[in-house]
Structure 1
């Protein structure tokens, strides 16, 4: 099953941009995922189990590295990637 996720990450610290950019970079290194960042959120597309495993790993790593943070996500069970 394909999955589309719109993800927003809010590290609760003064220097919030660095952690956000680091998370987007880490998501981009997940070879099986399509990652589309924009100014308000980051969209992820891929096979359900791969997307969820990547989110679990990266959320845990972010909490450990940056402390308190908020993740907001919307999920849809299809590939909603924009097509040209």
Structure 2
């Protein structure tokens, strides 16, 4: 099953840009998903299981490093790449 996820990360600290860019870069390392950046959020498109495993790993990594962070996510039950 293909899905799309819209993600926003809010590290509650000064210098918040670096952790956001690092999180996005980690998502982009997964070759089997499509990652689309914009100014307000990042969209990830691809296989449900691959994306969920990737998010589980990378969100935990952020929480380990910056526990005072907020993630806002919207999930769509199909691949909406290019439809926004």
Do they fold alike, i.e. is TM over 0.5? yes
Moved over 6 A (4+): none
Work out the CA distance in 2 between the residues paired with 1:15 and 1:67: 15
Pairwise CA distance, 1:65:
1.5
Match of 1:36 in 2: 36
Tell me, which stretches of 5 or more residues in structure 2 are unaligned? Answer: none
| Coordinate RMSD, CA, aligned | 0.9
Cα shift at 1:31: 1.4
More off after superposition, 65-74 vs 47-56: 65-74
- Matched residues, number: 83
Please give the TM-score of this superposition, normalised by the length of structure 1: 0.95
Unaligned runs of 5+ in 1: none
Cα separation, 2, equivalents of 1:7 and 1:66: 17
Say yes or no: does 1:17 pair with 2:17: yes
Q: TM-score, normalised by structure 2?
A: 0.95
- Structure 2 equivalent of residue 82 of structure 1: 82
Distance in 1 between residues matched to 2:36 and 2:11, nearest whole Å: 20
